[in-house]
Amino acid sequence: MPSRPNVVVFLTDQQRWDTTGLHGNPLDLTPNLDRIGRAGTHFANSFTCQPLCTPARATLQTGLYPTTAGPWRNGIPLPEDSTTIAHHFGAAGYETAYIGKWHLGDPASRGPVDPRYRGGYEYWLAANALEHTSDAYDTIVYDGTGARVKLPGYRVDAVTDAAIRYVAVPREQPFFLFVSLLEPHHQNRRDDYPAPEGYAERYRGAWTPPDLATLGGTAHRQLPGYYGMIKRIDEAYGRLLEAMTSPGLRDDTIVLFTSDHGNHFKTRNDEYKRSVHDASIRVPTVATGGVFTGGGQVNQLISHIDLVPTLLDAAGLPVPDELQGRSVVPLLQDRTADWPDDIFVQVSESETARAVRTQRWKYGVTAADDGPGADRYDEAYLYDLMADPDELDNLIGYQSHVHVAERLRERLARRMTEAGESVPAITPSPERPSGQRLIHPEEAFS
């Protein structure tokens, strides 16, 4: 039996946090994840650093913000000299494996990934852009030699079954396995959400989150397929856990479930993500096994930047100083442990935006520049999440909230410089009259 715990990351693509029962979804889409979240550790306020595939995955591999790691937008490969989580686990004697969607390789290849861009993983069965090499019942990936491999079944099952075959092999050393599904991402060439046969029909006319019910977008026609995908994801997640039970791996394996970003269904811009709204940045995150067994619900704000140090710490490995996040493991023993009370979000494609989110407030700025960052930004968003959790009433510029914006402007500037960005010049929004009473910082941030 390995002396250190095995570690599995189970990553979905474009999954909103409120698709889970843990977050109040009434459709019973995720009974396995809900059960594991209650028995393990549920990170109730979990966010991506960048709501876009490549940048989010760069953070999940390196523990750095996308602008530091290099891939600040889609189409930029992970630098060859990057130190990834696979390197850290490999140096500690782990066998490392990657299965599914990568999206960090040379964009000239949608399928095979050159070994230089594989982030140090030893076992390899993946496609650089799985959404372009495959379809719902036509899963094409590539092995370590670059050979084309067609996996049987619905795509969620095909990738999960490959992971089950991997964990079923007896081995002396512990393993670090990263399983990356495409679902519930849309199928690009048709712009739809192809659920397994018979699944979308279950959810026609089903519950719709308030932001989507109000703003519309494509949600009313696409939610049934999206929900059907998530139902099958949860079934596959449950099968993977069961597959580790029979060989006695469950007690010795940490399993982290999360998603790279959310989905706003074209309600905030003309596609599905790339916005600072919670619909884009908030994701479900659950961990089980090892120190996460019986961890309960953690309510502090957790960012993807924290997940690499967390997994290293949970496995008993050193956390390098250069990582830009911090391990959440201390919070499992002491909920009052020192922890930031905000998270920082970058958007660097389609628009250049930055945001800071606290438990109550969301403050965002945008720039005209199209690039990894800018020197000058304009205030664009202010939401009171206590009164308006669906971010339907933008308060930026309201005279009643000018002091709140000032305080958050300072926080955002600090967060940006801590992430390695230049000190920004932020132009306040023109003031607008408001029927609300003046909100003072002492009240808003107490």
- Count Cβ atoms below 10 Å from residue 114 Cβ, excluding itself: 14
Residues 237, 47, 391: CA angle, nearest 5 degrees: 115
Quick check: 427 and 412 in contact, CB under 8 A?
A: no
Instruction: List CB contacts of 242: < 8 A, sequence separation 6 or more.
Output: none
Q: Is 271 exposed, middle or buried (0-12, 13-18, 19+ CB in 10 A)?
A: middle
Short-list 164, 158, 154, CA closest to 200: 154
Which CATH code of 3.40.720.10, 3.40.50.300, 1.10.8.420, 2.40.170.20 fits the domain covering 6-333? 3.40.720.10
CA atoms within 13 A on the CB side of 196: 16
Domain topology for 350-444: Arylsulfatase, C-terminal domain (3.30.1120)
Two domains, one topology: 6-333 and 350-444? no
Cα separation, 57 vs 55, whole angstroms: 5
Percentage of the chain exceeding pLDDT 70: 99
How far is the CA of 429 from the CAs of 120, 200, 281, 408, 416, in angstroms? 46, 43, 23, 13, 19
Question: Tens place of pLDDT for every residue, the chain, 446 residues?
Answer: 347 999 999 999 999 999 999 999 999 999 999 999 999 999 999 999 999 999 999 999 999 999 999 999 999 999 999 999 999 999 999 999 999 999 999 999 999 999 999 999 999 999 999 999 999 999 999 999 999 999 999 999 999 999 999 999 999 999 999 999 999 999 999 999 999 999 999 999 999 999 999 999 999 999 999 999 999 999 999 999 999 998 999 989 999 999 999 999 999 999 999 999 999 999 999 999 999 999 999 999 999 999 999 999 999 999 999 999 999 999 998 988 999 999 999 999 889 999 999 999 999 999 987 789 999 999 999 999 999 999 999 999 999 999 999 999 999 999 999 999 999 999 999 998 876 778 777 777 76
Cα separation, 311 vs 254, whole angstroms: 8
pLDDT digits (tens, 9 = 90+) for 127-154: 999 999 999 999 999 999 999 999 999 9
CA atoms within 13 A on the CB side of 70: 15
What does the domain layout of the chain look like in residue ranges? 6-333, 350-444
Please say whether the dihedral angle defined by the alpha carbons of residues 96, 325, 44 and 103, taken in this order, is positive or negative. negative
Quick check: 276 and 364 in contact, CB under 8 A?
A: yes
Cα separation, 62 vs 424, whole angstroms: 25
SS (H, E, C) the chain: CCCCCEEEEEEECCCCHHHCHHHCCCCCCCHHHHHHHHHCEEEEEEECCCCCHHHHHHHHHHCCCHHHHCCCCCCCCCCCCCCCHHHHHHHCCCEEEEEEECCCCCCCCCCCCCHHHCCCCCEEEEECCHHHHCECCEEEEEECCCCEEEECCCHHHHHHHHHHHHHCCCCCCCEEEEEECCCCCCECCCCECCCCCCCHHHHCCCCCCHHHHHHCCCHHHHHHHHHHHHHHHHHHHHHHHHHHHCCCCHHHEEEEEEECCCCCCCCCCCCCCCCCCHHHHEECCEEECHHHCCCEEEEEEEEHHHHHHHHHHHCCCCCCCCCCCCCCHHHHHCCCCCCCCEEEEEEEECEEEEEEEECCEEEEEEECCCCCCCCEEEEEEEEECCCCCCCCCCCCCEHHHHHHHHHHHHHHHHHHHHCCCCCCEEECCCCECCCCCCCCHHHHCC
pLDDT digits (tens, 9 = 90+) for 350-401: 899 999 999 999 999 999 877 899 999 999 999 999 999 999 999 999 999 9
Cα separation, 377 vs 51, whole angstroms: 19
Structure-token pair, residue 375: 């020197």
Torsions phi, psi for 361 (to 5 deg):
-120, 150
